[in-house]
Amino acid sequence: MSNDQSQPLISETNKHSLDQRPESPQRPSKFPKVNDDAGNDVVDGEEQKESVTGTMNPNPRLQRYLIAIEYIGTRFAGAQQQPNCRTVVGVLQEAFQKFVGQPVSVFCSSRTDAGVHALSNVCHVDVERISKRKPGDVLPPHEPLVVKRAVNHFLQKNECDIMVIDVRCVPADFHARYKAQERTYFYRLLSGPEPVSSFERDRAWHVPENLDLLAMQKACNILIGRHDFSSFRAAACQANSPIRTLDELNVIEVISTPFFPSISERLKSSSVVEDPTISLGSDTNHSQISLNTNEEKLEGSNGEACQEFGLRRRHRCFVVTARARSFLYHQVRLLVGVLKSVGAGDLTDPDVKRILEAKSITASPPMAPACGLYLGHVKYDLPPETNQS
């Protein structure tokens, strides 16, 4: 749990009691039942309520906006509004109310758990622009750029841990959740025995073991496709079916952030500038050095390499990408837990197949913590629009 969290998170006991609310038999037929999003609390009763109150807009004077937001998940008790907790929706609604002068309701495409970050989560909100000089007069809707700047103005007066990154006007029946065609999640792992840097705390899962990238990539191929993912489904999941189609699952090694070049990397870059004939396409190119040079090394008296004083050893950084139309509750974090076990040598490819075929959560190793998970992108079928600065 993050120490900088301004308000207490909801307890696991209360959270599970919320998860287990009964299904509503009155679910509107025009919206498919989607229990999605790794790390999200998806409850049918809440979906029905949202579909009734958050989809159709009976007031023609209201403008519906699609809002893309980024936030640091460890500062919130999750995305969905909860009593007595600081949540993404709660903070966003407060900022909108300060902007437009009246309460609004925000509906998220993905209800991320406490600790789960978002590079781009998407919400919709209905806003009626009323004249402040003449309260009875309704004015033309604000331009999206005005909404973005105004809401960010109020958000940045708070904790500076959430920001609006894009705004679009959409039709009154456009629902951020049910119109989503695809969701992409990223998961960051830091591998190595060194303690996690202060700059990386609560931003990735620190694994002290040295992870085998090739083994993890092979395990991904077993899990891609349409399967019964019961082994990757938390007990609190409310989905009717465990069948999901995983369109993409891969893991790559990247430069750990924040990245600052070592002296050898700076010299290499300078050499390229001075002599353009030096190729960057070889096995010793700059990007390869950046990934594999973990520290600045000096030669000791015994001829062995030693660490220069005052320089931190870098972790190896791996990013897992999972992409699908929808996910089961905690599915991505459970998938990452298996991949980590494979990379550490605790599981093999046959073990991954056995876990998948077991169709039971008890067959899976512990799931990855929330702090390494990022909602990366929610895809919609939207008409092209000129970029706004």
Cα 250 to Cα 33, 82, 185, 224, 228: the distances in Å are 27, 34, 11, 9, 19
d(CA 92, CA 375): 17
Q: Identify the CA nearest to 342 among candidates 223, 224, 221, 217.
A: 217
Cα 171 to Cα 57, 122, 176: the distances in Å are 9, 15, 11
21 contacts: CB under 8 Å, gap ≥ 6? 43, 44, 45, 46
Q: Is there a contact between 311 and 297 (Cβ–Cβ < 8 Å)?
A: no
351 counts as catalytic: no
Q: Tell me which of 37, 113, 161, 202 is the catalytic residue.
A: 113
Report helix angle 88-100 to 144-155, nearest 10. 110
CA torsion 111-116-117-118 (nearest 10°) is: -30
**Which amino acid, one-letter code, is at 338?**
V
Beta strands in the chain (DSSP E): 63-71, 106-108, 117-127, 162-170, 182-191, 205-207, 225-228, 243-254, 297-299, 305-307, 316-324, 373-379
93 contacts: CB under 8 Å, gap ≥ 6? 81, 103, 104, 105, 106
User: What's the token pair of residue 244?
Assistant: 């999901």
Alpha-helical runs (H) found in the chain: 12-19, 44-53, 88-100, 144-155, 213-223, 263-274, 286-292, 331-343, 349-358
Phi and psi at residue 362, to the nearest 5°: -70, -15
- Beta strands 243-254; 297-299: pairing state: unpaired
The residues assigned a catalytic role are 113
